[in-house]
Amino acid sequence: MPHRLLSLEHFRHRLAHADALPQLVVLGVLSGLVAGGLISLFRSADGLLQFWLLPGGSEQFENLPTLHRLLLPVAGSLVLIALFMAIPAHARSVGIVHLLERLNNQQGRMPGLNMLIQGVAALVALASGHSVGREGPAVHIGGAASSLLGQRLNLPNNSLRLLVGCGSAAGIAAAFNTPLAGVIFAMEVVLLEYTLIGFLPIMVAAVVGDVVVRLTVGEAIVFTAPDVSINTLTELPLVILLGLLTGLLAAGFHHLQMQTLRLRHWSIPTRFLLAGALTGLVAVYWPQVMGSGYDTIETLFNGQLPLGILFGLLLAKCLLTPVIIALGIPAGLIAPTLFIGAAAGALLGGLGALITDLPHTGVYAMLGMGAMMAALLNAPLAALLALLELTHNTGIILPGMLAIVVANLTTRFGFGLPSIFHASLQRQGLDLRQAPLAQILSRAAVGSLMRRDFCHTPAVLTHAAARALLDSGPYWLLVDSDARRFLLPPADLRQYLETLAEGVADTDTLDLLSIPAQRIDIEPLLYRATLKEALDRMQQQQLQYLLVISNREAPMGLISRQQIEDYYHQKQSVS
């Protein structure tokens, strides 16, 4: 018995249930280890590439000569063209949008080749100065690595979904050293739901991923922010105005990216070369737009650039980044989003200082950073926690909440815009919003409900074998023949045997296809499937029962539409 309880088969069986908390925590630990290890490699490679290419080290694109700033993004685009033209079309889909699409259509089954391409392509894009960030690739790599772990262990699909959430949280935590923001990001953006059973494994994954990165490559000190806050409540109207401004900027970013996505039918060389040329031309005048822009954000926290330069940077980054992302440059948009918000906040703070003599405008750069992230990603809580963890400044919680609320209201209800990731999926005809029925049924696999009290029999058998089947007391008889596979009620077989004349020999045979009985057609379904997949299959094929089978197609159990409906009503009444 102890060996069976510690077996992988028992582990899989427990994960089929929605309340398998100890097993899910184990998965959270494994997910954090795998995702943290890969993100450590990714961050190390990114740092080495930029140290080799840039005078002054990481993110120091401003130190490049003008001609180099013009040509470096074009050179990066040429490398990306060579990479993408050498791989099959299905491997070119990368990023958070790809992860959400696989989560919606493939139950979180992520391909390994796409993960590898994402890592290599993002390194090229970041090192060549494209206006992108590393957080999107980190989410893809973390989520895909965790999914591949689950696939390798043949885990049920309901746990694969949660593994993708664990990997996404670990990816954000490892990229920024912001574990709490990673947890909420996974809930708000990736899984689109908050569940008590999901919080703990995702939290464990984020913590483990963060610890792995700190042990291997050290702490990612993204910003050194001053300990400042608003001085009086009279500054709150300016905070509200900042929320409105960032909401408008997020809406403009959103619309520009959606319009540029119409060019995705252009060839890869055309799109990538256009992206490289645009980045190079803009970088000639505003080199700060290159890369993630963390160094510029820190400058805005600690000092004030001239208002003219700030306005130019804000305009350039707002116009360049959505176009670059929509043209297909394979990296993230979260870091550029933070840059835009910080620039908008610093600009508004600078204008406010001319009127009200504000003592420090860096606080508005911090607030703008969080508000822009919340508005564009439709993730207000994740943005607030990221703001807190990145700046280590608790004094900005109150104004940060106010700015984030106003920014979110502006984009969500003023313009009716969803998250930028979900909008990209909607352009592909996908809608990630799940009804309560789908949400509840996606959390458990068919193995948690299937009945095992059935007997498997061939269609032709002896009378003695038929009586032996009935003596075992099955709920159903699963009948196999060359023509069909079906369920037969044991009571119908018993009634038929009782009507036979005496003197029938035990060795005489009978055909279960020809006796008078009810027969229910049945189709196979892998044990990894969720209850939602089972119900969808039943509705599509108008079935009442499905046969749950193993990877080797051996029958494991039966599940009915009535069982699934009863499960849903039970969970709904509890909630």
Structure tokens at 381: 């809580």
Digit-coded pLDDT (tens) for 358-382? 666 789 999 999 999 999 999 999 9
- Residues 523, 410, single domain; the answer is no
pLDDT in the model for residue 3: 41
Cα angle value 334/177/386 (rounded, 5°): 50
pLDDT in the model for residue 392: 86
- Residues 72, 122, single domain; the answer is yes
Answer whether residue 227 is part of any domain.
Answer: no
How far apart, in Å, do the first and last CA atoms of the chain sit?
35
Answer whether residue 441 is part of any domain.
Answer: no
For position 117, which CATH number holds? Answer: 1.10.3080.10
pLDDT in the model for residue 59: 83
- Residues 244, 207, single domain; the answer is no
- Residues 61, 168, single domain; the answer is yes
CA distance 560 to 486: 13
- Residues 240, 212, single domain; the answer is no
- Residues 463, 417, single domain; the answer is no
- Residues 192, 48, single domain; the answer is yes
- Residues 242, 187, single domain; the answer is no
- Residues 26, 102, single domain; the answer is yes
Answer whether residue 226 is part of any domain.
Answer: no
According to DSSP, the residues that pair with 221 across neighbouring strands are none
Torsion of CA 276, 278, 281, 282, to 10 degrees: -120
Which residue is listed with tokens 């980054």?
A: 317
- Residues 38, 133, single domain; the answer is yes
Answer whether residue 476 is part of any domain.
Answer: yes
Closest by CA to 129, choosing from 272, 2, 292, is 292
Q: What is the pTM of this model?
A: 0.86
Burial of 9 per CB tally in 10 Å (0-12, 13-18, 19+): exposed
- Residues 334, 269, single domain; the answer is yes
Domain that holds residue 343: 233-427
Domain count, the chain: 3
For position 501, which CATH number holds? Answer: 3.10.580.10
User: pLDDT per position in the chain (575 positions), as tens?
Assistant: 444 556 778 788 888 887 788 899 999 999 999 999 999 999 999 999 998 988 877 788 988 999 999 999 999 999 999 999 999 999 999 999 999 999 888 888 999 999 999 999 999 999 999 999 999 999 999 999 999 999 999 898 888 989 999 999 999 998 888 899 999 999 989 988 877 788 899 999 999 999 999 999 887 666 777 787 787 788 889 999 999 999 999 999 999 999 999 998 999 999 999 999 999 999 999 999 999 888 899 889 887 788 889 999 999 999 999 999 999 999 999 999 999 999 999 999 888 887 776 666 789 999 999 999 999 999 999 999 999 998 888 888 999 999 999 999 999 999 999 999 999 888 877 666 666 677 788 888 898 889 999 999 999 999 889 989 999 989 999 998 877 889 999 999 999 888 876 767 778 888 898 889 999 999 999 988 999 999 999 999 999 999 999 888 889 999 999 999 988 888 777 65
User: Do residues 239 and 344 touch, judged by C-beta distance below 8 A?
Assistant: no
- Residues 295, 400, single domain; the answer is yes
Answer whether residue 254 is part of any domain.
Answer: yes
Answer whether residue 258 is part of any domain.
Answer: yes
Written as one string, the DSSP assignment of 525-550 is: EETT-BHHHHHHHHHHHT-SEEEEE-
pLDDT in the model for residue 561: 92
Q: What is the 3-state secondary structure (H, E, C) of 449-479?
A: CCECCEEEEECEEEHHHHHHHHHCCCCEEEE
Q: Which residues contact 313 (CB under 8 A, 6 or more apart)?
A: 286, 288, 289, 296, 305, 343
User: Do residues 406 and 371 touch, judged by C-beta distance below 8 A?
Assistant: yes
pLDDT in the model for residue 175: 87
User: Do residues 133 and 386 touch, judged by C-beta distance below 8 A?
Assistant: no
Considering only CA atoms, give the Rg of the chain.
29
Answer whether residue 228 is part of any domain.
Answer: no
